[in-house]
Amino acid sequence: MGQKQNPPLPTLPIQLMLTMGTWLASPSALQCASSVLPRWKPALKNPQENRRLENALRAEAKSRAESLLSGVLRYVETPYKREVAEKPAIWQLGNARLLDYGQDIGNAKSLALFVPSLINRYCILDLEEERSFLRFLSGQGVYPLVLDWGVPGAFEKDFGVGDYVTDILCPAIEFLAKTAGKPIALAGYCMGGVLALAAAQLQRKHVGKLALLATPWDFHCEQFAPMVLDASWHKVMAELIGKHKTLPADIIQSLFYVTDPFIFEHKFRRYANLSAESRAARDFVALEHWVNDGVPMTANVAKDCLIGWAQENRLAGNRWQITGKKINPEKLKIPTFIAIPRNDHVVPHDCAMALATRIKHAHVTHPSAGHVGMIVGQNAKRELWQPLAQWLRK
């Protein structure tokens, strides 16, 4: 069982400072706008009207800051105990382990290996006993396992994304398929979906089905466009990343903050108003522990993802290769299930939909929640867990 622990904090100070700085700078921004562009609002030519608006902005910023700080401090001071017993590991390579959520793998009828992201722990799929995607599937005629990537160690220190696929994921698939005596299903979540898709292409005889959950593909979609830099910056990015053996989790999480900075504000201000004893408050703390307990990237994985995928758009451009083989979703001929959340702020709809359009035979569903809510939200069982369980049993 987990022990009571205070939350991991590396990311929170960065997000807090960025949010507070934006608010506190609002009056100054108003002064700048009204002086440089005096005609932007005629009423503000009146100094008295201008001061009134500045004071209103200061009051609003102060109110929001107090509410946000209240929520953050309350979260920091709330001890949390994850009441979930870890499942046994039946295979290990480097720091990666296969955790078994079934009972008798030799007699499994519908075996599914879940592949999480490299930068977030697998626990989102088994957050709590009553909010566990994997434990639910285990009771629905599906034999689930999950690949716990662990933290990069001596074995993985020089890995790129392709190495994680060929040197860990593919051997894990081979082990499971040979143990079960038949092809298995792969289910990838977020970045794990990209790895699962690649492994399905490389391990065709061992993979019979593929599920892609909130899987990114087109990083040059409209929502990500502001973060696409001129090609002249790619070398600079590579040099900066190369100075680190691993890219810390707090830096990675801060990049997600930039995609939608208001999410951080809204969720902590909302948490500040929840009853401390409420189920909603407990759910918030459990989820935030997972969000803030990220895993560092190796330098080569960071280059692959932040430059190759995000800047050069190699996935959507059909230019991503592993061991010289081009990863092309159009070559997939196996049954494929794709879930694209309607309110995803991490993997925007258009980013994921670009992959769905490349797999013509895929069964595509659109849960109403967001990136994480699709997995653990109040409608997760009805909108994702049950449909995927039914599809895996076919």
Which tens digit of pLDDT belongs to each residue from 22-36? 555 555 544 554 554
pLDDT category of residue 367 using cuts at 50, 70 and 90: very high
- Share above pLDDT 70 across residues of the chain, in percent, rounded to a whole number: 85
DSSP state, 41? S
Q: Is pLDDT of 42 > 60?
A: no
Quick one: pLDDT at residue 289?
87
Residue with the bigger pLDDT between 103 and 255: it is 103
Higher-confidence residue of 359 and 47: namely: 359
> Can you spell out the DSSP letters for 343-388?
T-SSS-HHHHHHHHTT-TT-EEE--SS-TTHHHHSTTHIIIIIHHH
Which letter does DSSP use for residue 42 in this model?
A: G
Q: State the pLDDT at residue 3.
A: 45
Vertex 121: Cα angle to 116 and 125 (nearest 5) = 60
Q: What is the pLDDT of residue 100?
A: 96
Q: How far apart are CA 359 and CA 187, in angstroms?
A: 15
For all residues of the chain together, what is the average pLDDT?
86
Domain ranges of the chain: 11-77, 89-221+296-393
The CATH superfamily assigned to 89-221+296-393 is Alpha/Beta hydrolase fold, catalytic domain (3.40.50.1820)
- Tens of pLDDT along 235-277? 888 888 888 788 877 777 766 666 666 777 888 889 989 998 8
Helix, strand, coil tally for the chain in percent (to 5): 50, 15, 35
pLDDT at site 264: 78
Confidence grade of residue 14 (pLDDT, cut at 50, 70, 90): low
When computed from its CA atoms, the radius of gyration of the chain, rounded to whole angstroms, is 23
